[in-house]
Amino acid sequence: MAVSPLQSSLYVGVMSGTSLDGVDAVLADTSSGVPRLLGSRYQAYSAALRDELLALHTAGANELHRGAMLANVLAEQYAQTVLALLAANGNPRVAAIGCHGQTIRHQPEAGYTIQLVNGALLAERTGISTVIDFRSRDIAAGGQGAPLVPAFHAMVFRQPDTARAIVNIGGIANLTCLPLKGPVSGFDTGPGNLLMDALASRHLGQACDKDGVLAAAGCVNENLLAAMLSDPFFQRSPPKSTGRDHFNWSWLEALGVEGLAPHDIQATLAELSARSIVTAVEKYCPEAQEVLICGGGVHNIHLMKRLVMLLQTRKLASTAAVGLDPDWVEALAFAWLARCTMEGAPGNAPEVTGAKGPRILGAIYPQ
């Protein structure tokens, strides 16, 4: 049974990211201010749903209807995942669900972003107040609307005696800089897993390059890598964010990869992710003594080895080393963001997104 935030400190966070692999849902206790993970559940997307979502990233026939129908499908899948999560944890009283939705367009320069989900249907199916559309208010205030997790990272991972960089490697990678003094900063660094996943799908018939085996078998094509890194996105100063609108298979084909061996392309894509992350750390977070990694990229052994080599003297570890499973950090952030919204507190970090100031994020669908 859902209750008001004043009657429960429990929130559910639901995240489905750029990788289009599935749904992460967490149950979080926010009574101490810092969310504590009580339970988690993952539900994979079917191949058909993933293909439909991927197709909707580019303009096509009848896309308004297709988008609305997919928003309903996603709401149903999110609801199933949330209800299964709660059942596995004794069906506790929950204040609200914070649901990111599935990004199909991210165009902050044009003044909009679209994360698909029918929030009304999700609230109806679960009987729990639901918060969606976290990014739009920040964009309306002149911000990028992303990344939103740095404010959460600052609360969970900041230490008074250790400067840290937090890197979330999902489909897109983003950096959070947590200096010893001064405000949090952060931005999207570029592709994380999404291009590597696309190549794995095409050449391995798999959702990802498990452990980075394909990349490890190849050699970096330095000319191709230089062409990738010459993209204007990498030259821009923050605040900045990106997504599949910019980095996609068409972007890769335009660089002339036809005829190259798949394992060499994959090695080069892994190097692109690694070097763009490390360059961002060195330029914008030079004080960092530790670099903590979360997101799906933490499981790519080859990518993690490259990060260790390139970071040199900086300590690299998964967020598990400081007590938080890297697979659930983003979902936990959206549980926290839901609490911020329900309590009328700002959820963005203007220093990160470039918004005019702190804003209360999200649209609420009451229970």
Are the C-beta atoms of 350 and 105 separated by less than 8 Å? no
pLDDT of residue 19: 87
Residue 148 pLDDT more than 80? yes
Mean pLDDT of 258-285: 97
Q: Reply yes or no on whether the pLDDT at 33 is more than 70.
A: yes
pLDDT of residue 4: 45
Average pLDDT across the chain, whole number = 95
Q: What is the DSSP letter of 200?
A: H
Average pLDDT over residues 213-226: 98
Q: What is the pLDDT of residue 246?
A: 96
* CB-neighbour burial class of residue 109 (10 A; exposed 0-12, middle 13-18, buried 19+): exposed
Structure-token match 């199933």, residue found: 80
Query: For residue 1, is pLDDT > 70?
Result: no
Between CA 86 and CA 192 the distance in angstroms is 31
**pLDDT at site 273:** 98
pLDDT for 150-190, tens place per residue?
999 999 999 999 999 999 999 999 999 999 999 999 999 99
Q: What is the pLDDT of residues 306-327, one digit of tens each?
A: 999 999 999 999 999 999 999 9
Count how many Cα atoms sit within 13 Å of the Cα of residue 58 in the half-sphere of its side chain. 9
Domains of the chain in start order, with CATH, are 10-145+328-365 (3.30.420.40), 149-322 (3.30.420.40)
Q: What is the pLDDT of residue 53?
A: 95
What are the tens digits of pLDDT across the range 52-78?
999 999 889 999 999 999 999 999 999
Which tens digits make up the pLDDT trace of 105-145?
A: 999 999 999 999 999 999 999 999 999 999 999 999 999 99
Distance CA(155)–CA(335), nearest Å, equals 14
pLDDT confidence band for 2 (50 / 70 / 90): very low
- Please tell me the distance from the alpha carbon of residue 157 to that of residue 168, in angstroms, as a whole number: 13
Sign of CA dihedral 66, 69, 74, 80: negative
- pLDDT for the residue 43: 97
**The one-letter amino acid at 86:** L
* CA angle at 79 for the pair 78 and 84, rounded to the nearest 5°: 100
